[in-house]
Every structure is written in structure tokens, then in C-alpha cells.
Amino acid sequence: MPSTTAITVSQLSRLIGLPGAPVIIDVRIEEDYNADPRLLPASSRRDFKTVSTWASEFAGSRVAVVCQRGQKLSQGVAAWLRHEGISAESLEGGFEAWRDAKGLLVHAGKIPPRDEEGRTVWVTRTRPKVDRIACPWLIRRFIDPSAVFLFVEAAEVSATADRFQAVPFDIDNVFWTHRGECCTFDTMIEEFGLESEALDRLAMIVRAADTASLDLAPQAAGFLAASLGLSRMFRDDLEQLEAGMLLYDAFFRWCRDATEETHNWPGKPS
């Protein structure tokens, strides 16, 4: 009989990258984590020993708890969270089952330091169009759901990064930027180790739209038109980002699940 307190690898993998994905908490002991310092997408590390002090932070959330093998640590933490009224499940088989199934894993060493509230902080140029919406989407969905994004004038990005301990991206002469024919979105996928057919397909569309190489992907022209339309609809960059998240969610879901689906008027002969 299927467990009512666990989520399987296949079930969780279908939720990764989607807006309704559960909060993922990694409670592996340091020895296990150091042996393979990668994380499930958008997950955060917590000490199982202190669950009573941090459990309330996840009130109202759906949570998936991960330990090395899906046994006592994740099951115990999930049970404690449920005691606090939080919907929580342990990952069946734990990190090892996820890794062996070739689930997406993030290179933790590439994730920037977090602020005092546990958030990564990023800064880029104002008035985003494509790459500067694509990268925040990727970070929010696969790296840090609570990430902070600062949009400032281009000339002030470096100084703002220094003063606010923020990570600059999509400007010249920084780590997170264009490389050759690839855009910053490509760089982030590569550096974080997000090996995914769906993300690679989305990256091709983003690259084509961002670098005026529309012949790279047939979806690029429509994607660019939607992106430019959004940039004209919103004066506030953060409002535009929130609206753009839905656009990228839709394209990611198409890249993952709907590339073979077609649509036609019912009365038209096949």
C-alpha cells in the first residue's frame, strides 16, 4: 500500500520547476552532504536537530523533506512538521534514490552566500526584456524561491552589488553573463549543473530571442514579442518580473510536456 506520508521520486520530479512545487528541505548530516554537495532544485539545508525552532517558518506550505536514504531523519522531521500543522512528506528513498534516478541536482558551491534572512540577493540593469527575466525565473524556480532581485541603472550595478552584497548578473565583466554565443540564462544552467532536456529547449528559445537570432527556434519570434509586450505594460520592473514568471512557467511546461501536441479547428480536415 502506498505511503500516505512520503512522496516518490517520480511524483516530486513532476513538480520541480513549477509554481506549485513543495518547499524542499534537505536534512542530510554533514558527512553525507560533504560526500556529494549537491542539492535538489530550490531546496534549503536545515539541521534536523533544531526542527522545533524552525518548523513554524513553513506554516501554510507544502513541504518535502530529504535525507540520505529517506529513513529516520526525513521521516522524523516530516512527522514533526505535521505535528505543527504543516503538510509534510519525506522523499521516498531520499537523496540516494533521487540521484540514482538522475533527478535534477544543483551544484551547491555555485549558489551565492545568503543574507541574514536566508535569501540570495542579485542585481542587474533596469528595464529587463528577456535574459533579465529568464535568469530570475530560473533562480526562483530551481535555486532560491525567496531570491531578491534589484534593478538599477546600468552604471550603478557594480557599486550596488558592492554596497548591498548582491550578485551582479547580465552585465559586462562579471561571472554571471554572456559567454560567446550563449546568454546569461545558458551560463546559469551550465554553472548550476541543471542538465535537463526541457531547460535546454527553453534555453534555445531564450538565446534566440535575447541575441536576435530568431532562426534558432521557431518559437523565438513569438516569445520575443510577448517579452517586449510585457516590458511596455509595466513601469515597475518587479511587477514585470512577476508577470513574466507566468510566461516562463508556460514555456517551460510546453518544453517539458507539450512539444508534440498540436491544435487545429475541429472542422478542418486532417
Mean predicted confidence (pLDDT) in 5-27: 97
Looking at the structure, tell me whether residues 154 and 202 fall in a common domain: yes
Q: Please report, for the chain, how many H helices and E strands are present, in that order.
A: 11, 10
Mean predicted confidence (pLDDT) in 151-174: 97
Where residue 163 falls among pLDDT bands split at 50, 70, 90? very high
Question: Which domain, by its residues, includes 238?
Answer: 111-258
Looking at the structure, tell me whether residues 152 and 198 fall in a common domain: yes
Tell me which of 85, 107, 129 is where a domain ends.
Answer: 107
For residue 263, CA distances in Å to 40, 51, 52, 255 come to 35, 49, 51, 16
Mean predicted confidence (pLDDT) in 108-121: 96
Mean predicted confidence (pLDDT) in 134-139: 98
pLDDT at position 269, please? 63
Looking at the structure, tell me whether residues 38 and 18 fall in a common domain: yes
pLDDT at position 2, please? 56
pLDDT at position 263, please? 86
pTM of the shown model: 0.95
Looking at the structure, tell me whether residues 62 and 152 fall in a common domain: no
Tell me which of 89, 107, 125 is where a domain ends.
Answer: 107
pLDDT tens digits for range 225-237: 999 999 999 999 9
Phi-psi region of 93 (alpha: psi -120 to 50; beta: other; left: phi over 0): left
Cα–Cα dist 119/116, whole Å: 7
Q: Taken in order 113, 117, 245, 45, is the CA torsion positive or negative?
A: positive
Please name the residue ranges forming H helices in the chain.
9-13, 30-35, 51-54, 72-83, 94-100, 131-142, 157-164, 184-192, 197-210, 220-233, 237-253
Looking at the structure, tell me whether residues 131 and 64 fall in a common domain: no
**In the predicted model, is pLDDT for residue 3 greater than 80?**
no
End-to-end alpha carbon distance in the chain: 45
Grid coordinates representing 168?
A: 551582479
Cα–Cα dist 27/222, whole Å: 43
Backbone angles phi, psi at 66, to 5 degrees: -120, 125
Looking at the structure, tell me whether residues 45 and 144 fall in a common domain: no
pLDDT at position 267, please? 72
Where residue 176 falls among pLDDT bands split at 50, 70, 90? very high
Looking at the structure, tell me whether residues 166 and 194 fall in a common domain: yes
Specify the number of domains making up the chain.
2
pLDDT tens digits for range 38-60: 999 999 999 999 999 999 999 99
Looking at the structure, tell me whether residues 221 and 241 fall in a common domain: yes
Sheet containing 148-152: give its strands across.
148-152, 121-125, 167-168
The domain that holds 67 is classified in CATH as 3.40.250.10
pLDDT tens digits for range 56-86: 999 999 999 999 999 999 999 999 999 999 9
Average pLDDT across the chain, whole number:
96
Tell me which of 107, 136, 152 is where a domain ends.
Answer: 107
Q: Tell me what percent of the residues of the chain surpass a pLDDT of 90.
A: 94
Looking at the structure, tell me whether residues 25 and 46 fall in a common domain: yes
- Cβ-contact 190, 155 below 8 angstroms: no
- Cβ-contact 91, 101 below 8 angstroms: no
Cα-based torsion angle of the residue sequence 91, 94, 96, 100 in order, rounded to the nearest 10 degrees: -10
